[in-house]
Structure 1
Amino acid sequence: MNVEEFNSETDSDYSSYWRDWFISSRGHEYFCEIDEEYLTDRFNLTGLNTEVQYYQYALDLVTDVFDFECNDDMREQIEKSARHLYGLVHARYIITTRGLQKMLEKYKKCDFGRCPRVLCSGQPLLPIGLSDLPNVKSVKLYCGRCEDVYVPKSSRHAVIDGAYFGASFPHILFQVYPQLIPQKSTERHIPRCFGFKVHASAALIRWQEQQRVAQRRRLIEAGVEVPTPEEAERMQDSDDGEEEEVDPAEVEEKQPSW
């Protein structure tokens, strides 16, 4: 869907023409509509003129005062800049009182999806950026129950720049609305074999065996102990068949390879 396909008949309909088109487009479901008063306050746009190409034209398009005659290629570039400008302003807007209220309504309706972790019991997600800088990381989804992040299911959402939401948004939302902080899940998956729990000491035994083997290797390399034929063969294989004498003075510099 492009701007030309979004028809408007009256001046009142045209007052929010571009923003209505942007919000209603497929793949933009994570965005909320930015109030016109916020967009027209230049203080809220501080510093963005250096971040966005064709900044003034893009701003005019977003605020629906664009009247520049240009060819199709130029128009496409300006629309691209307008989408980028809207995203950068969006990251600032959603941490304001009004923006938090709008995103809260979307959160309550599960517009951002639910946590894929089974033991989170369908906890609603919030969009988050792993970086506040544009063109670094795509948007991810944050779960307040398990406090982990996930990739959006839809490929249309997975390509949205994470900077359009910022790394602080979910945490600010929960600070402003602490009653919404989900209770942490105490459930954990318990490994079982044929119904029997896998004993925790099994992992400890495996780790101790690895440490024992590594320690014996160091003692053999230091000449303190004599390797068995099997150990000597394994050491020879690990050295790619090359036999060399171990200098005890170099033992401290060597790293175990098994």
Structure 2
Amino acid sequence: MNISEDENGEMTWIKWFCSLEENEFMCEVDESFIDNDFNLYGLENSVPHFQLAIETILQLEYSQEITPDIQQEIDEESKKLYGLIHARYIVTSAGQQKMLRKYEHSAFGCCPCMKCNRYPLLPLGLYDNPGMEPVRLYCPCCNDIYIVPQQFASRKLDGAFFGTTFAHLLLLQLDEHPKNAFHYIPRVYGFKLASSDYERPTDYPHFTGLRQFCHL
């Protein structure tokens, strides 16, 4: 592994993991948070080699001998465990501040809806349990959810690494965020179409268009 170094010149698994392009939506979880058993309660049931995964993340000496055939398993489980810990961390004050800085710099992209005027998006999980759906993007302006576009390597991240609470909790910390009042009305030669005569393409049952730019 090509693990980066912290400000003291010491290599950290967390900094290395978060520096990977596919993890660009994630922030660095404080080691003190991971080292607190209270914050990890219940996660041991989600990861087979839980203790070894924790030792990998915190770069502690393994508590038991590791054979080469399970090292790869532990590496994968460490990534999953970090993601589940990340979901808990980003609803804390410290985690919210780190994600807020990303949000303020539009690190998660901007809403593709024209009427939102490129309003910044937030990552969102549709489920809190892993393995259900990948991460989605939520627009506070139009209150809609979008599939992550292809240009983001983070599009394959598990939605459970962000959870269902984070985005909305973060927005509660902000003084205000606009809700667009623009409502497009389809017209033919200047005459409004009746709602019964018009459907969005994404409402068609067999629509196969560019869903990353469409509502879910």
Q: Please, what TM-score do these two structures have when normalized by structure 1?
A: 0.70
Q: Deviations over 1:174-231 (max 9, x none)?
A: 1122x1x4211111223233xx33334x456x69xxxxxxxxxxxxxxxxxxxxxxxx
Given that residues 58 and 85 in structure 1 are in contact (C-alpha distance below 8 angstroms), is that contact kept between their aligned partners in structure 2? yes
Corresponding pairs, count: 196
Given that residues 185 and 192 in structure 2 are in contact (C-alpha distance below 8 angstroms), is that contact kept between their aligned partners in structure 1? no
Deviation at 1:6, TM superposition (A): 2.8
The letter of the residue matching 1:163 is A
Deviation at 1:165, TM superposition (A): 0.4
Partner of 1:107: 103
Partner of 1:84: 80
The letter of the residue matching 2:162 is F
1:169 and 2:166 correspond = yes
Structure 1 residues not aligned, in runs of 5+: 208-258
Structure 2 residues not aligned, in runs of 5+: 199-216
Partner of 2:69: 73
1:197 and 2:194 correspond = no
Q: Among 147, 161, 167, which residue is 2:143 paired with?
A: 147
Q: Deviations over 1:79-108 (max 9, x none)?
A: 111101100010000000000000000000
Identify if the C-alpha distance between structure 1 residues 162 and 85 changes in structure 2 by more than 3 Å, giving closer, same or farther: same
Partner of 2:201: none
Determine which structure has more spread, i.e. the larger CA radius of gyration.
Answer: 1
Following the alignment from structure 1 to structure 2, what is the Cα–Cα distance between the partners of residues 66 and 111?
Answer: 35
SS at match of 1:13: coil
Q: Please, what TM-score do these two structures have when normalized by structure 2?
A: 0.83
1:123 and 2:119 correspond = yes
Given that residues 57 and 66 in structure 1 are in contact (C-alpha distance below 8 angstroms), is that contact kept between their aligned partners in structure 2? no
The letter of the residue matching 1:125 is L
Given that residues 4 and 15 in structure 2 are in contact (C-alpha distance below 8 angstroms), is that contact kept between their aligned partners in structure 1? no
**Same amino acid, percent of matched pairs:** 36
Higher helix share: 1
Following the alignment from structure 1 to structure 2, what is the Cα–Cα distance between the partners of residues 40 and 6?
Answer: 20
